[in-house]
Amino acid sequence: MRRQQSKSVVFLTELLLALMIFALCSSVCAGLFAWSYRIKEQSSALSHAVVMAQSGAEAFKRYSAPDALARMMEGTATDSGCTIYYDKEWEATASDSAAYVMTIALRQEAGLRFADILVSAQDGIAVYRLEASALRTEGGL
């Protein structure tokens, strides 16, 4: 009888150890899945931010006035540039429902126009930054 009881204790200990190893492995896998999802979201945001910043740079090269630039980009004109708000799907939206913000700051120096383009998340974390320049034209749009 004593022999039967010791075999079951060893079996239960072995089973408990296997369950603990399985739990440890599954928690590591769950952490890896969460990490990969976060990386995918950051990568997607970066890809979209690059496209939007390039669009902003091309619009800047065409339009020299902040209000014309804001109309083209479906944003809001400011004294020194414009601000465009985007939702999670990267569609232009109002500021209260925005997930991302693109600011285009305009300046002029020595016959050149410069645009500092910053795409950031709504919480202020920069996603992508781009600087563009163009020749200053007289009577630009």
Instruction: Specify the pTM.
Output: 0.75
**Residue-level pLDDT at 5:** 66
Please give the helix or strand (H or E) that residue 34 lies within, else none.
helix 2-62
CA neighbor of 100 nearest in space, from 82, 115, 118, 116: 118
Residues 110-126, mean pLDDT to the nearest whole number? 91
Question: d(Cα 85, Cα 95) in Å, to the nearest integer?
Answer: 6
CA neighbor of 84 nearest in space, from 108, 130, 123, 117: 117
- The two tokens of residue 111 are 């016959």
Per residue in 26-70, pLDDT (tens digit) is 999 999 999 999 999 999 999 999 999 999 999 998 887 888 888
pLDDT band at 135 (very low <50, low <70, confident <90, very high): confident
Q: 132 forms bridges with which residues in the sheet? A: 115
- pLDDT of residue 19 exceeding 80, the answer is yes
One-letter amino acid for residue 138 of the chain: E
